[in-house]
Structure 1
Amino acid sequence: MDISIVGSGYVGTTIAACFADFGHTVTTIDIDEQVVDQLNHGTAPIHEPGLNELIDAYGGNRLQATTDYAAVRDTDVTFLALPTPSNADGSIDTSAIEASARTLGEALATKDSDHLVVVKSTVIPGTTEDVLYPLLNDAAGEETNQRIDVAMNPEFLSQGTAVTDFQTPDKVVFGTRTDSATELLTAVFEPLLAESEPALVDTGVREAEMIKYANNAFLATKISLINELGNLCKEYGVDAYEVAAAIGLDDRIGEQFLRSGVGWGGSCFPKDTRALIAAARDVNYEPSLLEATVEVNEKQPKRLLDLLKKHVDVSDRRIAVLGLAFKSGTDDIRGSRAKPTIERLQEHNADIVAYDPVATKHMQETFPDIDYAESAAAALNGAHGAVVVTDWDEFSALDEEFDQMADPVVVDGRRVITRKDDIIYEGITW
């Protein structure tokens, strides 16, 4: 099948590579000429385990990239994988996907066969049918009104495991208006449905839009709840991880997302939770639990610094920040808990040195005035304290490096440090 994908970010690039691996012919469309060039030369434009190998195998062959929307006319279906960032009030900014819908409609105006446009972007219920569908058809012209259909196919990819998540999903959701759209999406995903046998959810467009938000809001709330319980455990001298291990044995709770720590981040949880709060207020509903979910998450970095300040005066002292990506396995710093941690250290006039194995370049754009080390050992050398913000495996191997600290004070926000002897060690919830 011939597939086009608009947008080459984390989602667009991942699904493009995986669709090519299914045997489909894939064309990605992006305004960034550098990204287009990288894909055509078989290089992944983002850091994601397993992705480089797929793009190396198919880039420039079964997977092509272009800046020209005209390419959609030679495909059967187009996936829109464009960002919907947050506005100041938390609501989503749909300007990019709306502009793309207009351009896509214009490109499809001269196509002489039906076309399905599938939204992968995360949008509030009603956006696909009430906003994008009219834009597509108005741009295409009246004569094509019955030939452009729309559907919603939300993604559930976690950065750091996106390729595996796509290839072996728990569920695949088709939000469609017509039987023909469902049939076409089934054909696109047939290799995955046959091999992995995920649950297939065939539902309406609005329901599919809401499923994505509900999924992320539930997980964010679960993390904030275990963090709240972890904070309470800390006050009572109780190991929150032993508590979590026990309650995770209950099938009604489950063991996933029970690692308490410095909080959640990324491109999805913060944006989607705030968007759902804003959407609720638009319909005059006060989402108290979602607001509490965000409130708990925002105070975790402050607790990290408060624990550090129990042992060391951070003013004018060298403090190492270990981990800048919002999670291990990715170079993405969106929503990273390192950001508020660094900001609070700056407010206390700390001399900050930061290290991350892959995300340093991105964080330098946000905090150009702090020091960056080339290794964890270099960051710890001479430091009066250290905070662990990202759960990179290499941090668990740190041992003699702590002996090079001026004051061996380590506050762990992710429970990854294994050495406890001869250092002052604090866990944020244990």
Structure 2
Amino acid sequence: MRISMIGTGYVGLVSGTCFSEFGVDVVCVDKDAGKIERLNGGEIPIFEPGLDAMVASNVAGGRLSFTTDLAASVAASDAVFIAVGTPSRRGDGHADLSYVYAAAREIARAMTGYTVVVTKSTVPVGTGREVARIIREERPDADFDVVSNPEFLREGSAIQDFMRPDRVVIGTSSPRAQQVMRQLYRVLYLIETPILFTELETSELIKYAANTFLATKITFINEVADLCEKVGANVHDVARGIGLDNRIGRKFLHAGPGYGGSCFPKDTLALVRTAQECGAPLRIVETVVDINSTRKKAMAGRVLAACGGSLEGKTVAVLGLTFKPNTDDMRDAPSLDIVPALVTAGATVQAFDPEGMAEAKPLLPEITYCEDAYGAMTGADVVVLLTEWNEFRALDLDRAKALLKAPVMVDLRNVYTPADMVAAGFTYSSIGRPAPEAPPQGDTAEAAATPSSAPA
């Protein structure tokens, strides 16, 4: 079987590569000739653990290739996946489907024989029907079906998510299209992965409902964390206490500065707009969007408080800029709200991120970028732990204290344990946990203890 993957962004490149790992012949197509040239030269444009090796092995095996020639690729394909961007549209926040519809028109002109056209991009309900209408308008004689096959890939663990997913969702009522999709996902059938066949609209809504529910779960625990700070409770213990209930589950109950990334912000907003247009507003989701936006902007206030109410003339070390670890993705990262607020308050910001600085520099040009975490902390008045990269979980705190003007840490990911940080001599604040008490004077054994990392 041969497929075309239209778009070599995060979803298209990962999905195309993983299909080739299944033994499918895959051609990834993109209009960006420079990107295709780099891919053909072995250069991967995104950071995703394990992707470079998998691309290399499948290119060498002849199952994966890259081209700008959409027409030739589509003409030879059994299925064509649309995996182009659907960013939030300026003005109303709805998903911008212009790239999806443009791809549909080009695919229509290039198809030969029966073709399954699959929307892999995250698209609002009704998009699949519109794609079918566009193709029929362009090619009244075309023999095709449109299928919805949403992706559920987490950046940083996308290959594992594709190769061993919780489920695969396929929206189509066509037996022919179902057979093609079953063949594509045959490897997953063999390991008994749940594969759910639904109507087109149901599949499209499942993707939005899933992401919105997870965003709601994050926002819920963030608000609980704020309450914990007021009443002296510990949000880690609250999250564990409720997460052990199988009806709730432990995942996505980690308090922090708010959700970001390429999916949750735009998908929650798009679902809100769809619901409003249909006359069935999702008030819970509307509130989630508002709370998350406000929360990210408010995080700079925690740094301000840790520095005595003023950042004028002070230096802030920021560790981590990407929206999460194991990715170079800066889309809607909390740092894009927090760092400018620190600069506006008068601070000089020194930052380090293991993978995201190339992406961050055009977005945050006003700060200094350092070679490592210790370089960022040199001469700083406070260190802010903003993204929980593994290398930040076991910092040499004695070295950090020697580099900082004052041993002050604002941990927005709850990586460290409050009691251990105070024992190490730090003034420490985190999210949703009681303020630690200073150890008794003269208790040198505890004061010398090395802090341990807590799960974030």
* The 10-residue stretch of structure 1 (354-363 or 294-303) with the greater mean CA deviation from structure 2: 294-303
Unaligned stretches of 5+ residues in structure 1: none
Q: What is the identity, as a one-letter code, of the residue corresponding to 1:320?
A: A
Residue aligning to 2:103: 100
For residues 197-226 of structure 1, the C-alpha deviation after alignment (integer angstroms, 9 at most, x for no partner) is: 221111000000000000000000001001
CA RMSD of aligned residues (A): 1.3
State yes or no: 1:363 paired with 2:360.
Answer: yes
Residue aligning to 2:327: 330
User: Aligned-pair distance for 1:183?
Assistant: 0.8
For residues 356-410 of structure 1, the C-alpha deviation after alignment (integer angstroms, 9 at most, x for no partner) is: 0000011101111211111110001110112111110111111234211112211
Report if aligned partners of 1:304, 1:411 keep a CA contact under 8 Å in 2.
no
Q: What is the identity, as a one-letter code, of the residue corresponding to 2:432?
A: T
Unaligned stretches of 5+ residues in structure 2: 434-456
Residue aligning to 1:52: 52
User: Aligned-pair distance for 1:303?
Assistant: 4.1
User: Which of the residues 369, 375, 383 maps onto 2:372?
Assistant: 375
Residue aligning to 1:18: 18
SS of 2:66's partner is strand
Query: Aligned partners of 1:163 and 1:211: how far apart in 2?
Result: 21
Query: Aligned partners of 1:157 and 1:311: how far apart in 2?
Result: 37
Residue aligning to 1:296: 291
Query: Aligned partners of 1:369 and 1:228: how far apart in 2?
Result: 31
For residues 315-353 of structure 1, the C-alpha deviation after alignment (integer angstroms, 9 at most, x for no partner) is: 121111111111001000101011100121122121111
SS of 1:151's partner is strand
Report if aligned partners of 2:300, 2:339 keep a CA contact under 8 Å in 1.
no
User: Aligned-pair distance for 1:176?
Assistant: 0.6
For residues 272-294 of structure 1, the C-alpha deviation after alignment (integer angstroms, 9 at most, x for no partner) is: 00001111111233322112112
Report if aligned partners of 2:306, 2:429 keep a CA contact under 8 Å in 1.
no
SS of 2:409's partner is strand
User: Aligned-pair distance for 1:43?
Assistant: 3.5
Query: Aligned partners of 1:249 and 1:414: how far apart in 2?
Result: 21
Q: What is the identity, as a one-letter code, of the residue corresponding to 1:143?
A: D
State yes or no: 1:267 paired with 2:262.
Answer: yes
Query: Aligned partners of 2:237 and 2:10: how far apart in 1?
Result: 35
Residue aligning to 1:138: 137
Residue aligning to 2:400: 402
SS of 1:319's partner is strand
User: Aligned-pair distance for 1:39?
Assistant: 2.6
For residues 236-288 of structure 1, the C-alpha deviation after alignment (integer angstroms, 9 at most, x for no partner) is: 22110011111111111111111111111110000000001111111233322
For residues 45-73 of structure 1, the C-alpha deviation after alignment (integer angstroms, 9 at most, x for no partner) is: 21101111100101262101110112111
User: Which of the residues 185, 193, 196 maps onto 1:201?
Assistant: 196
Residue aligning to 2:188: 192
Query: Aligned partners of 1:187 and 1:236: how far apart in 2?
Result: 56
State yes or no: 1:114 paired with 2:114.
Answer: yes
User: Which of the residues 305, 311, 318 maps onto 1:310?
Assistant: 305
Query: Aligned partners of 2:281 and 2:175: how far apart in 1?
Result: 37
* The 10-residue stretch of structure 1 (216-225 or 175-184) with the greater mean CA deviation from structure 2: 175-184
Number of residues paired by the alignment?
422
User: Which of the residues 415, 429, 451 maps onto 1:426?
Assistant: 429
Report if aligned partners of 1:42, 1:57 keep a CA contact under 8 Å in 2.
no
For residues 86-122 of structure 1, the C-alpha deviation after alignment (integer angstroms, 9 at most, x for no partner) is: 01221011011111111111111xx1x2011000011
SS of 2:151's partner is coil
Query: Aligned partners of 1:44 and 1:193: how far apart in 2?
Result: 30
Query: Aligned partners of 1:400 and 1:211: how far apart in 2?
Result: 49
Residue aligning to 2:448: none
Residue aligning to 2:439: none
Query: Aligned partners of 2:292 and 2:389: how far apart in 1?
Result: 20
State yes or no: 1:228 paired with 2:223.
Answer: yes
User: Aligned-pair distance for 1:143?
Assistant: 2.1
Query: Aligned partners of 2:59 and 2:79: how far apart in 1?
Result: 20
Residue aligning to 1:411: 410
Normalising by structure 1, what TM-score? 0.96
Q: What is the identity, as a one-letter code, of the residue corresponding to 1:135?
A: I
Query: Aligned partners of 2:144 and 2:334: how far apart in 1?
Result: 42
Shift >6 Å, 4+ stretches: none
Q: What is the identity, as a one-letter code, of the residue corresponding to 2:141?
A: E
Query: Aligned partners of 2:354 and 2:399: how far apart in 1?
Result: 16
Residue aligning to 2:156: 160
Query: Aligned partners of 2:216 and 2:232: how far apart in 1?
Result: 24
Query: Aligned partners of 2:328 and 2:32: how far apart in 1?
Result: 19
Q: What is the identity, as a one-letter code, of the residue corresponding to 2:149?
A: N
Normalising by structure 2, what TM-score? 0.90
Residue aligning to 2:170: 174
State yes or no: 1:344 paired with 2:341.
Answer: yes
Residue aligning to 2:452: none
Residue aligning to 1:278: 273
* The 10-residue stretch of structure 1 (54-63 or 362-371) with the greater mean CA deviation from structure 2: 54-63
Report if aligned partners of 2:261, 2:323 keep a CA contact under 8 Å in 1.
yes
Query: Aligned partners of 1:307 and 1:12: how far apart in 2?
Result: 39
Query: Aligned partners of 1:65 and 1:16: how far apart in 2?
Result: 10
* Identity %, equivalent residues: 38
Report if aligned partners of 2:20, 2:64 keep a CA contact under 8 Å in 1.
yes
Residue aligning to 2:36: 36
Q: What is the identity, as a one-letter code, of the residue corresponding to 1:339?
A: L
Report if aligned partners of 2:306, 2:410 keep a CA contact under 8 Å in 1.
no
* The 10-residue stretch of structure 1 (210-219 or 258-267) with the greater mean CA deviation from structure 2: 258-267
SS of 1:428's partner is coil
Q: What is the identity, as a one-letter code, of the residue corresponding to 1:215?
A: A
Residue aligning to 1:68: 69
